[in-house]
Amino acid sequence: MPADAPPHPLIAQARDQLNRGQVEAALAAARKRLAADGDDVDALEILVLVCQQRGEVLEAKRLLERILILAPDLDWPRDDLAILLAGLGRKAEAEAVVRDALARNPANPQACALLGTLLTERRDLPGGEAAFKQALDLVGDHPPTQVALAANLIEQGRLEAAEPLLARADRLAPGDGLTLAHWSRLREALGDLAASRTLLDRAAAAGFDVTLRRAVQLGREQRHAEALAVIETVPGRKGGDALLESGRLKERLGRPAEAFADFVEGKARLAARDGLTYDGAAVAREFETLGRLVETLGPPPLAARREGAQPVFVFGFPRSGTTMVEQVLTSHSAIAAGGELPFVNEMVTALESRFGGLQALWTPGVAEALRDLYLERAAAFGLRGPGKPLFTDKMPLSEVWTPVIRAAFPEARQVRMVRHPLDTAVSMLSHNLTHGDSCGYRITDIAHHMQAVHALTGRYARTLGETALTLRYEDLVADQETWTRRLLAHLDLAFEPACLRFHENRRYAPTPSYAQVSEPLNDRSIGRWRLYHQALEPQARALAKVIAELGYTD
C-alpha cells in the first residue's frame, strides 16, 4: 500500500473506536482485518495499542518485532519497542534498538530523546545532553524534552545552563508540575529557598505531588518537626524515598530507633521497586578472580603518558567524604571538577568486549588503547580543553579496578578517602545509592561489600604497591589545613587558601552531599553510628578487622 494511501475502512473504524475508548470493538475490527490480510501493519498497530493499554507487554513486544520484519523502515515500532524494553528494565536492549533506529533515520526526534533518557540514566550525562539537543534541533521547542535536558544538566552541576530551559518550558506549557518541581530543586540547590517554595506551591496548585520535595526543603531550613509532619501526610503506604527522608528527620529529632526502622524498610521498598539485589557470592567470585589474576601475573604493562589534562582518581565508598574532597580539590585553580565519571567502567567493558577479558590488560598495547578511550571520553565531557591541567574522577568504588587504572594512567595521582566504616554504613543505608553492585539496600550487604573491597585492595597493594594517599575523613576534620596541604602536595600543587574555603565553591555537587559541602567543615556526622550501636552490633563484629586496620579504635 502506498504511504499516502487512506487506511482500510476497518482500520479507520478501529482507530475511531480506540479514540472513543471502545477497546473491544477496536480489537474486533483489527482482527477482522487481519483475518483478510495477516500482514496488515495498521491492524497490527491497533493490536499493539490495545496490548499497551492492557499492560500485556510481552505480547506487545512480539507484535512490534513482527511489524519491524514486515516494515523495517518505520520509525514508530522501534521507538515503541525501545520504550517497552526500558520499562521492563532491559536498558541495554532498549539502547541497542534506539541506536539502530537512529542509524536508519538520524532525523527521528523521538529516538534522539529516548537515547538521551537512556544515556542520562546510565550516567553518560554529556551523551544524554547531546541526544536531547539533537532532538530539540529536529523539532524546535518541546517542553518535555527541554525539561529532560534541564534535569540532565542539573545532574552535571550546570545549574545556570539548566534554568533557562526550565523557564522556557514553563512559558510554553505553564503549570506543568514536573517542570516546576525540577525548577524548585534547582533554586533550592542555589540556596534560594524562597523561590523554591514559590515554585513548589505552583506545582502543588497544578496537582503535582510535592509532598516529599516540601519536606526536603523544610529539612534544609532546619524545620525538622514540620518536615516530618509533612511526610506523615503521605496517604497510604509510603514509598522508599519518603521513608528514608522520614528516617533522617527522626534521627535529627532524637528518635534513632524509629529512624533505623525507616531506613531498613525504605531501602527494602526501593530495592523491590527497582528490582535490585546484591549477589554477595558473585562479588566474592569476581574479586577472587581479580586478586588472583594480579597476584599471578604481577603488574601489567604501563601506558605512556599522553599530553593534556590528566585525571585525579578519588577512591572510596559512597558517603565516605569523596564529594567533600572533590570540592576541596576543585577549589584549586589547577583542578576541574569531573564528578562521578563512568570512564573507568567503560575501560573495563572495553576489556571484556574488545579484548577478550581482563587478562588482556597484560597484552602490550592494550593499556594505551584504554588510556585513549578514557581521554577521548573526557574530551567529550569538556574536561580536556585548555586551562586546568587536572580534573577529578570520583566514581565511588573505582578502586576495585586499580590494576586497570594504574596500567592506563601510571602517573595519575590517587586519593583514597576513608571514614569510619560504621558511619559510612549508616549513611549509605539512609540514602538511595546503587553503587557497589547495589550493596546499599541492606546493612548486612553493605558490611559484606566493605569487607570484600578492603580485602581486594589489600591484595592489590601487596602486589602492585600502594600509590594512593589515604585520607581519613576524621583527620581532615580535626586538622583541615595540615591535611589539605598534604593532599595538594600529593598532587604536586602549591597550597591555595581557597581550598580551605571549599564551602564557598559555587559548583553544585549533584550528590546527596550537596547541602553538606556548602557548609564549612564540621564534625556533626562523626560518630553518628553510635546512635545505632545496638542495631549495628552484628556489623560491628563483622567489620572489626576492617575498622582496626583502618586505624579506628572502636
Instruction: Extract the C-alpha cell encoding 47.
Output: 493490536
How does strand 335-336 pair with strand 310-315? unpaired
Domains in the chain: how many in total? 1
pLDDT at site 2: 53
Question: 418-456 b/e with 16+ CB inside 10 Å = b?
Answer: bbbbbbbbbbbbbbbbbbbbbbbbbbebbbbbbbbbbeb
Residue 504 contacts by C-beta under 8 Å, 6 or more apart in sequence? 331, 498
Task: Name residues of the chain where pLDDT drops below 50.
Answer: 513, 517
- Print the domain residue range for 302: 288-549
Domain annotation covers residue 347: yes
CA angle 34/39/44 to nearest 5° reads 65
Domain annotation covers residue 337: yes
Question: 24-59 b/e with 16+ CB inside 10 Å = b?
Answer: eebbebbeebbeeeeebbbbbbbbbbbbbeeeeeee
Domain annotation covers residue 486: yes
pLDDT at site 221: 87
> SS3 for 149-203, per residue?
HHHHHHHCCCHHHHHHHHHHHHHHCCCCHHHHHHHHHHHHHCCCHHHHHHHHHHH
Other beta carbons less than 10 A from residue 476's beta carbon: 22
Residue 381 C-beta-side C-alpha neighbours within 13 Å: 26
Residue 129 contacts by C-beta under 8 Å, 6 or more apart in sequence? 116, 120, 149, 152, 153, 156
Q: How far is Cα 22 from Cα 422, in angstroms, rounded to an integer?
A: 58
pLDDT at site 122: 83
251 Cα distance to chain centroid? 26
**DSSP string covering 282-303:** HHHHHHHHHHHHHHHH-SPPPP
Other beta carbons less than 10 A from residue 307's beta carbon: 7
Which CATH number goes with the domain that contains 307? 3.40.50.300
Domain annotation covers residue 245: no
| Burial group, residue 493, by CB count within 10 angstroms (0-12, 13-18, 19+) | buried
N-terminal to C-terminal alpha carbon distance within the chain: 77
pLDDT at site 523: 79
Domain annotation covers residue 375: yes
**449-474 pLDDT, tens digit each:** 999 999 999 999 999 999 999 999 99
Q: How far is Cα 315 from Cα 400, in angstroms, rounded to an integer?
A: 9
pLDDT at site 6: 82
Instruction: Extract the C-alpha cell encoding 283.
Output: 562479588
Q: How far is Cα 149 from Cα 165, in angstroms, rounded to an integer?
A: 8
**503-550 pLDDT, tens digit each:** 776 666 565 545 554 566 777 889 999 999 999 999 999 999 999 999
Q: Is-contact 196 184, C-beta < 8 A?
A: yes
- The average confidence (pLDDT) of the chain is 92
H or E stretch including 522? none
pLDDT at site 387: 81
Beta strands in 383-533 (DSSP E): 390-393, 414-418, 469-472
Domain annotation covers residue 260: no
Domain annotation covers residue 210: no
Q: Is 128 helix (H, G, I), strand (E, B) or coil?
A: helix
Q: How far is Cα 385 from Cα 226, in angstroms, rounded to an integer?
A: 47
Q: Is-contact 158 185, C-beta < 8 A?
A: no
pLDDT at site 4: 61
Domain annotation covers residue 90: no
pLDDT at site 503: 79
